[in-house]
Amino acid sequence: MNVVHVLNGPNLNLLGTREPGTYGTLTLADIEARLAARCQAGGISLLFRQSNHEGDLVTWIQEAGAAGEPVILNAGAYTHTSIALRDAIAGSGAKVIEVHLSNVHAREDFRHRSTISAVAAGVILGFGALSYDLALEALIAQSKKTKS
């Protein structure tokens, strides 16, 4: 694996101050810095992006799929509503690991449904910022397995 895309959806730019009891106090820049350090150690290029707009996420997923590069995706609330994101994953063939900071299954009913999970390679949730790190480790481990 040479490149990994980490895509973040709406309101994740507010991490650090947004409902810290649910999402913790790390900022998105803190999460990016941790992933960047791990990627640098592994010789992987990190493309870390955030948007509050569904279409941006669709475009970035399509780009990753076309390039054959894996995606770690926290789609935020679009997880629960977006058929467009589901179709972008299925249609582009992007390998996506869905992540969430919070355990969405322990929260409101409307967060129990994901349009993405069925087309994701895996789902990691409930570990705070560590969910992202675990997803990256999973991709690294799988790419090593593919090589051997």
Is 79 near ligand DQA (CB under 6 A)? Answer: yes
Q: Which of 77, 121, 130, 134 binds ligand DQA (CB under 6 A)?
A: 77
* Helix, strand, coil in percent for the chain, rounding step 5: 55, 15, 30
Is 34 near ligand DQA (CB under 6 A)? Answer: no
Considering the complex, state which of residue 64 and residue 135 has its C-beta at the smaller distance from ligand DQA: 135
CA atoms within 13 A on the CB side of 9: 24
Q: What is the distance between the alpha carbons of residues 66 and 77, in angstroms, rounded to a whole number?
A: 25
Q: Which of 50, 102, 114, 115 binds ligand DQA (CB under 6 A)?
A: 102
Q: What is the distance between the alpha carbons of residues 57 and 19, in angstroms, rounded to a whole number?
A: 23
Considering the complex, state which of residue 77 and residue 84 has its C-beta at the smaller distance from ligand DQA: 77
Write out the residues near ligand DQA by the rule CB under 6 A. Answer: 11, 74, 76-77, 79, 100-102, 104, 111
